[in-house]
Structure 1
Amino acid sequence: MTRHPATLNPAGQLAAESSEFRIHLVSFLAAIIGTAAGFVAWLLYHLIGFFTNVAFYHTISFTFHSPRNHQLGLWVILVPVVGGLIVGVMAKYGSSKIRGHGIPEAMEAVLVNRSRIEPKVAILKPLSAAIAIGTGGPFGAEGPIIQTGGAIGSLIGQVIQTTASERKVLLGCGAAAGMAATFSTPIAAVILAIELILFEFKARSFIPLVIASTIATSLHFVLMGRGPMFEVGAIDFGIPRVLPWYLLLGAICGFSAVGFSKLLYWVEDQFEKLPIDWMWWPAIGCVVLGVVGYFVPRVLGVGYDTISDILNTHLVFKVLLAVMIFKALVLLVTIGSGTSGGLLAPMFMASAAMGSAVAMIINHFIPGAGISPAAFALVAMGAVFGAASRATFAFIIFAFEITRDYNSILPLMLVAVIADGIALAFSENSIMTEKLARRGLKIHSEFEPDILRQMTVSQAMVTEPPRVPETMLVREMAERLAQHDPILSRHQGVLIVDDAGKLKGLITRGDLLRAMESEDAGTQTVLQAGTTSLLTAYEDELLFHAASRMLRAGVGRLPVVDRKDPTKILGYLGRAGVLSARLRQIEEEQVREGGWASAKRNPKAAGEITPVK
C-alpha cells in the first residue's frame, strides 16, 4: 500500500492534521457574541422606532410607535415605496445577501460558505430591515437579527484561527442570541439554532448556545424590561373538553402552512419574470403594501400591538378576517419581491387572527363548544410557523415563552405536530429550505445518530484477513491472483506477516502492479513492494474514528491490531466494512421483522424479515 501525501486545503494546512473542538474557547466567545447580539437587538428595535417616527409622524424619536395611527391620508401609499427603493439600492450596491427574511441566508452560510459571512452584512442587514419595517413593511425583526447575530458570530470566528465547525457554532450562537434578545425566549432560541442553523445536537454546540442566549436575554431584561413579549390575560384552553376541536385546528394550521409556503415562492417566481432589474422589485411590491395599508392600517409595520389585541380578544370577527387576509397578502408580495425583513411576526399575526376567527366560527354554529378565541389564536401562532419552517419543537416552546402560560403547552404540542405532519405530507421542503433547494442544496434537517459512532471496529472488521509471508515474491503473488485465489482475491489489500505471524506490512493491488512494471519484478518481495509504515485500528475503538483516519490519510483499509502489541493481527477493516455499517442502518429502517401477532396466525412467520416496499 502506498501512503498518499496529505492534501492541502485552501488555507494551506494539512488535511491529514486534526484538532480537537475547543469548547472552552468557543464558550468564552459565545459570551462575547451574546453580549454583542443583545445590544444589536436593542439598537435594531430603536432604529425601527426612529424610522417609523420619521416616516409616519415626522418626528425625531427612538420610541417605538405603531404606524397604524398615522395621519398621512393618501400619502401613506408612497411611504413603503420609498422604503422599498432604498432597500433595493442597498441590496444592489451593498450586498444582495440582505434580501429575504434572513434565516435561509444564515443556513446557506453554514452549508456552502463554511460559516463565513461578509462583514458588511452585519451592518447592512439590520439597517435595511429597520428602513423596510420603519417605512411600513409588514415584517418582523427576528429574521434580520438572526442573520445579523449570525454574522457577528461568523466574523469573530474569522478574526481568530478556528475550524469550520467552531465557526459554525459561533454563527449559531449569534443567531440564537439575536432571537433571544429580541423576544426574550432563550430556550426557543437555542432549539431554533439547533433545528435550523447547526443541524446537530452535541454538548460542544449546546453549551455555547445556552451561554450566548442566557446573556442576550439578560441584556433584554436590562434594556427592554422583564415582561413577556405579549401581555396576555388568563386563557381557558379547555383541555380535555376542547380536544377534538384542537384536532381540527391542527389540520387547518397544517394546510395553511403548506399553502403560504407555496404561494410565497409562486410570488417570487412571478417577480423573476419581470423584465426589469431586481433592484426595483421591492418598490413594486411596496406599491401593493401602500394601497392595502391605506384601507387596512393594521397591516403596516411589525404589528406587535395587533398581535396583543388578538391574544386578548379585543378584535371583532370582521377585523380578524381583514388582518388574516390582508396581512398575509402584503407579506407574500413584499417578501416575494426580495426586500429585507422577517417572516415570524407577520405570520404570527395572520395565523393568530385565523385561529381566533376559527374559534368564533365554531362558537357561532355550535354554541356549546365554548372555545376561547385567545387559546386558538395562541396555538395557531406556534403551529403554523412551526409547520412551515419544520422547526415545530422550537415554536411550541416559543409560543409558550412569549406568553409564559404553562397551560398552553398541551394544546400547542398537539396542534403543532398535526400541522407538522400535514406539512411533511404535502411539501417536500420547508419555507426556509425551498429557496436553498432551488439553488441545488438538499438539506437533511432530521436528527439521527451516526451509525459509525455506535459501532466498534470489531463489529465491522474481517476477523480472518488474507495474509502472505514477507518472503513471497511479487511474481508469485501476481500468479495466485491471476488464478483467482479464493483467499487473496477477496480484498484489495493483503497483510504481510513474518514467520511468527506478526504484522510487517501491507500490499495492495496497486502496489503489485507498480512492482510488476519495475525492472526487478522477478526478484522483488511483497515486503519490498508494499508499505511498512502503517496506519492501524483497534478493535474496541469507534468505527467513526477509524473511518476518519482512513479518509484523512487517503487509504482504503486498516489492519486491526492489539493495543498492547501493534504487531498482533486481530482483523482487517476495509471500505466494505465501513459500508456494511451503513447497510445495517438501512436494514433497521426498511426491513420489517415478524412479530408476535403474525406468529400466532402463522407460526412459521415468527422472526421472518420482510423488506419495506
Structure 2
Amino acid sequence: MWFGEKWVSRARRAFKLLSTSRIRALVRQSELGLLLLGVASGTCAGLGVVVVSLTAQTLHAFIFEVPLGERLSGWTVLDPRIVLSAPVAGGIILGIVIFIVARWRRRPIVDPIEANALHGGRMSVTDSIIVVVQNLISNGFGASVGLEAGYTQLSSALSSKVGIIMRLRRGDLRLLVGCGSAGAIAAAFNAPLTGAFYAFELITGSYNIASLAPVVVSALTATMVARAFIPSGFIIDAEAFNSVVSTDYVPALLLGLFCAASGILLMRGVSLVEETARKSAVPPVARPALGGIVVGILALVSPQILSGGHGALHLTLDQQVGVSALVSLFLLKAVASAVSIGAGFRGGLFFASLFMGALLGKIYAIGANLLFASSALSETTYAVMGMSCLAAAVIGGPLTMTFLALEVTGDFSITALTLAAVITASVTVRSTFGYSFATWRFHLRGESIRSAHDVGWIRNLTVDKMMRLDMRTANAGVTVSAFKTAFPLGSTQRVIILDDQGKYAGLIIVPDLFSDPAIEPQQHIAEFVRHKGAFLLPNMNGKQAAAIFDDAESEELAVLNTNIERRVVGLLTESHTLRRYSEELEKRRREVSGDV
C-alpha cells in the first residue's frame, strides 16, 4: 500500500512539474524553455514529414503501380491509361473534398506566412489537416505539385497549437511557427541549415540571437527523426563539379538574371490560369478535374512532370540530356505546375521550382560553355545554381536556397558562386516584380503582405479602439453668437458640426472663430466648417488613420459609423494615434531584437 502511494505521489509531482503554467513560466524566464519547445516542434515536424511522405509514396505505388519507395517522376515509362486517368480521378475526389469543406468550414485557411504576418502565429490544426489531405490527394494522384506545403502547414500548426495551449506571448508563438516550418523543410531535404533559414527568411521574417537556438534545434531534431525512418537524403555527388575560378562569376550572374525572368513568367502564368478559371463558368468543385485532364495529357508526353519531381531531378542531374529534351521538359513542367495550382490542386511550387531551375541551369550551360571559353563549369554545377536561383526567384529566401546548394553539394566554392547568382536573381525579382509566389498570391487576394514580418498588430490597432467618446457637437444652423455662448474660448478646441438630419457636416476650430473680427454674430457657423470630407471610420487601422490626418492637415478628426449614414461615433487626435502607433512599433522592435 505504501509503495503504491509513493508512486502516486511521484506522479503527481511530475505532473505539476510538467504543467502548462510551469512550462509557460520556464519559457518566459529562460531560453531553455524555448529550446525544449524547439525539440518538441522538430520531433513533431520530423514525424509529420515521414507520415505524409510515406502516405504519398504508398498512393503512387497503389495508383501508378511503381515499386514502393521509388519516386514517381523518376519513371519515364508508365501505363498510358493510368497516366491519363489518375490526375482526373484525383481532381474529381479533390472537388468532392472542396465541396464538403466549403459547406463545413467557410473561413479561409491560414498558412504559416499569413499566420505570422497577420494573426500573431495562431493557426488551426483542423484546417491544416484539411490542407494535408488535399495536398496528398493532389500529389498522390499525380498533379504537378510538391508536398512541402503540407509539410510546413501541419508542422507549423502543431507548434502553434502547443503555444496557444500554453498561452505564450505573440512573439514566442510566432517563433514556434517558425520552428515547425524549419523542422518540416529540414526533414524534407535532409538540410537543417536550409530549414532554419527558411524559417528566418520566409516564416518569422527576422533573425536574432534569441530565436537562433530554438529554430536550429528544431531543424536538427526534425532531420534526425526523419532520417531514422527514411535514410535516403537529397544529396548530389560532389565529384560532378569542377573547380571555380574568378571568371566563372560572369556567367553565374547572367544565369541569375535568366532565372529571375523565368520565375516572373512562371508566377504570372499561375496567376493567369487562376484568373481564367475564376472568370469562367466552371464551378470551383469541377476545376480540379478539368486541370487533371490537362495534366494527364501532358504526362502522356513525359511522365516526369507528375508529382513533385524528386525522381526527375535526380535523372536530370545524373544523365546527359539534349537541349531539345531539356527545353520541352521544362515547358511541360511549367505548364503542368501552373495548371495544377490554377485549377485548384493543393500544393506549392517549392520543389517544382528546384526541378525547373535545374533544367534551366543545364539549358543555360550549353550556351554558356560556348560563349565563355574561359569558364570550365560542368552542367551539374550550372544545374545546382539554376536550381537555387529559380527557387529564390519564386519562393524567396536567397540565403535559404544558397544553404540548400551547400548542403546538397558540400562544396564551398560552388556555394559562393551560387550565392552571387541567387542574390542577382532575388534583387532582380524584387526590383521588377516585387513579390515572391506566396506574397504575390496574397496581393491578388487584396492582402498587403510583402513578407512574414508581423503586421497583424496594425490591423488590431483600429480607430474604434483609440477614439474618444466625449466629443462636443453643434447644429450647422446655429448662429456664430449662439455658438460662442455655448462654446466660450478655452472650453474646447474643436466642435463637430451636424446637419439637420444629425449627419456629420464638418469641424469648427473654436479659437479661429473668436480670433477673426470680420465674422458677423448673425452668420451661420455652416459657413466656417472645415474638413467636410475628412473623417475616419471605426475599422480603419492606425496606419490608415495617420495617412488621413496627414492629408487633412488636421490635429483632430471625427469618427463616423459608415460612409453612408455618417453618424458621429467618436473623435480621434493625431497625437494619440501616432503615440499608440509608435508604442506598438517599439514593442515589435523589442520582440525582434530579443529584448523581451
| TM-score normalized with structure 1 length | 0.66
Q: Please give the secondary structure, in 2, of the residue aligned with 1:140.
A: coil
1:413 to 415, 419, 430: 419
- Tell me the residue number matched to 1:178: 184
Equivalent pair of 1:21/1:204 in contact (CA under 8 Å)? no
Cα separation, 2, equivalents of 1:183 and 1:146: 13
- Tell me the residue number matched to 1:149: 155
More helix per residue: 1 or 2? 2
Cα separation, 2, equivalents of 1:369 and 1:204: 43
Q: What one-letter code is carried by the residue in structure 2 that aligns with 1:42?
A: V
Equivalent pair of 2:362/2:379 in contact (CA under 8 Å)? yes
Most deviating of 187-196 and 135-144: 135-144
2:291 to 285, 289, 307: 285
Question: Pairwise mapping of residues 101-140 of structure 1 onto structure 2 (< 5 A)?
Answer: 105-140=111-146
Determine whether 1:33 maps to 2:41.
Answer: yes
**Compared with structure 1, are the counterparts of its residues 577 and 438 closer, same or farther at alpha carbon in structure 2 (3 Å cutoff)?**
closer
2:343 to 323, 337, 346: 337
- Tell me the residue number matched to 1:429: 435
Equivalent pair of 2:179/2:218 in contact (CA under 8 Å)? yes
Equivalent pair of 1:271/1:337 in contact (CA under 8 Å)? yes
Determine whether 1:234 maps to 2:240.
Answer: yes
Cα separation, 2, equivalents of 1:268 and 1:45: 27
Equivalent pair of 1:235/1:375 in contact (CA under 8 Å)? yes
Q: What one-letter code is carried by the residue in structure 2 that aligns with 1:36?
A: C
Q: Please give the secondary structure, in 2, of the residue aligned with 1:279.
A: coil
Most deviating of 305-314 and 76-85: 305-314
Cα separation, 1, equivalents of 2:31 and 2:101: 35
- Tell me the residue number matched to 1:511: none
2:281 to 275, 284, 287: 275
1:348 to 349, 354, 357: 354
- Tell me the residue number matched to 1:53: 61
Q: What one-letter code is carried by the residue in structure 2 that aligns with 1:294?
A: L
Q: What one-letter code is carried by the residue in structure 1 that aligns with 2:118?
A: V
Q: What one-letter code is carried by the residue in structure 2 that aligns with 1:392?
A: P
**Compared with structure 1, are the counterparts of its residues 362 and 204 closer, same or farther at alpha carbon in structure 2 (3 Å cutoff)?**
closer
Shift of residue 113 of structure 1?
3.4
Determine whether 1:257 maps to 2:263.
Answer: yes
User: CA RMSD, aligned part only?
Assistant: 3.5
Shift of residue 363 of structure 1?
2.9
Q: What one-letter code is carried by the residue in structure 2 that aligns with 1:242?
A: D
Shift of residue 182 of structure 1?
0.8
1:402 to 382, 400, 408: 408
Cα separation, 1, equivalents of 2:90 and 2:77: 16
- Tell me the residue number matched to 1:531: none
- Tell me the residue number matched to 2:485: none
Most deviating of 233-242 and 250-259: 233-242
Q: Please give the secondary structure, in 2, of the residue aligned with 1:139.
A: coil
Q: Deviation string for 1:456-477 (max 9, x for gaps)?
A: xxxxxxxxxxxxxxxxxxxxxx
Percent of residue pairs identical: 22
- Tell me the residue number matched to 1:76: 83
Q: Please give the secondary structure, in 1, of the residue aligned with 2:280.
A: coil
**Compared with structure 1, are the counterparts of its residues 363 and 577 closer, same or farther at alpha carbon in structure 2 (3 Å cutoff)?**
closer
| TM-score normalized with structure 2 length | 0.68
Shift of residue 352 of structure 1?
0.8
**Compared with structure 1, are the counterparts of its residues 416 and 49 closer, same or farther at alpha carbon in structure 2 (3 Å cutoff)?**
same
**Compared with structure 1, are the counterparts of its residues 341 and 234 closer, same or farther at alpha carbon in structure 2 (3 Å cutoff)?**
same
**Compared with structure 1, are the counterparts of its residues 361 and 113 closer, same or farther at alpha carbon in structure 2 (3 Å cutoff)?**
same
Cα separation, 2, equivalents of 1:381 and 1:579: 45
Q: Deviation string for 1:84-121 (max 9, x for gaps)?
A: 2222322332379999xx9x822122233332222223
Shift of residue 209 of structure 1?
1.0
**Compared with structure 1, are the counterparts of its residues 372 and 149 closer, same or farther at alpha carbon in structure 2 (3 Å cutoff)?**
same
**Compared with structure 1, are the counterparts of its residues 227 and 289 closer, same or farther at alpha carbon in structure 2 (3 Å cutoff)?**
closer
Question: Pairwise mapping of residues 465-476 of structure 1 onto structure 2 (< 5 A)?
Answer: none
Q: What one-letter code is carried by the residue in structure 1 that aligns with 2:225?
A: L
Shift of residue 56 of structure 1?
0.8
Equivalent pair of 1:313/1:374 in contact (CA under 8 Å)? no
Q: What one-letter code is carried by the residue in structure 1 that aligns with 2:382?
A: F
**Compared with structure 1, are the counterparts of its residues 65 and 434 closer, same or farther at alpha carbon in structure 2 (3 Å cutoff)?**
closer
Cα separation, 2, equivalents of 1:173 and 1:95: 30
Equivalent pair of 2:74/2:310 in contact (CA under 8 Å)? no
- Tell me the residue number matched to 2:393: 387
**Compared with structure 1, are the counterparts of its residues 183 and 58 closer, same or farther at alpha carbon in structure 2 (3 Å cutoff)?**
closer
Show structure 1 runs of 5+ residues with no match.
1-18, 449-481, 490-573, 586-613
Question: Pairwise mapping of residues 155-170 of structure 1 onto structure 2 (< 5 A)?
Answer: 155-170=161-176
Cα separation, 1, equivalents of 2:391 and 2:239: 23
Equivalent pair of 2:353/2:394 in contact (CA under 8 Å)? no
Determine whether 1:191 maps to 2:191.
Answer: no
Cα separation, 1, equivalents of 2:148 and 2:236: 15
Cα separation, 2, equivalents of 1:255 and 1:209: 32
Shift of residue 282 of structure 1?
1.6
Cα separation, 2, equivalents of 1:447 and 1:359: 37
Shift of residue 368 of structure 1?
6.0
Cα separation, 2, equivalents of 1:98 and 1:581: 37
Kindly tell me the number of residue pairs found equivalent between the two proteins.
446
Shift of residue 387 of structure 1?
2.2
Q: What one-letter code is carried by the residue in structure 2 that aligns with 1:395?
A: M
- Tell me the residue number matched to 2:216: 210
**Compared with structure 1, are the counterparts of its residues 414 and 483 closer, same or farther at alpha carbon in structure 2 (3 Å cutoff)?**
same
Q: What one-letter code is carried by the residue in structure 2 that aligns with 1:124?
A: I
Shift of residue 575 of structure 1?
6.4
1:92 to 94, 99, 114: 99
- Tell me the residue number matched to 1:374: 380
Most deviating of 420-429 and 113-122: 113-122
Cα separation, 2, equivalents of 1:288 and 1:576: 53
Cα separation, 1, equivalents of 2:137 and 2:441: 24
Q: Please give the secondary structure, in 2, of the residue aligned with 1:222.
A: helix
Shift of residue 399 of structure 1?
2.1
1:320 to 320, 326, 331: 326
Cα separation, 2, equivalents of 1:294 and 1:581: 59
Q: Please give the secondary structure, in 1, of the residue aligned with 2:75.
A: helix
Q: Please give the secondary structure, in 2, of the residue aligned with 1:114.
A: coil
Shift of residue 381 of structure 1?
0.8
Shift of residue 228 of structure 1?
4.2
Shift of residue 160 of structure 1?
2.9
Cα separation, 1, equivalents of 2:117 and 2:374: 52
Question: Pairwise mapping of residues 437-516 of structure 1 onto structure 2 (< 5 A)?
Answer: 437-445=443-451
Cα separation, 1, equivalents of 2:217 and 2:272: 40
Cα separation, 2, equivalents of 1:337 and 1:293: 16
Q: What one-letter code is carried by the residue in structure 2 that aligns with 1:302?
A: G
Q: What one-letter code is carried by the residue in structure 2 that aligns with 1:77?
A: L
Q: What one-letter code is carried by the residue in structure 1 that aligns with 2:88?
A: V
Cα separation, 1, equivalents of 2:352 and 2:451: 25
**Compared with structure 1, are the counterparts of its residues 212 and 405 closer, same or farther at alpha carbon in structure 2 (3 Å cutoff)?**
same
Q: Deviation string for 1:438-484 (max 9, x for gaps)?
A: 33322353989xxxxxxxxxxxxxxxxxxxxxxxxxxxxxxxxx999
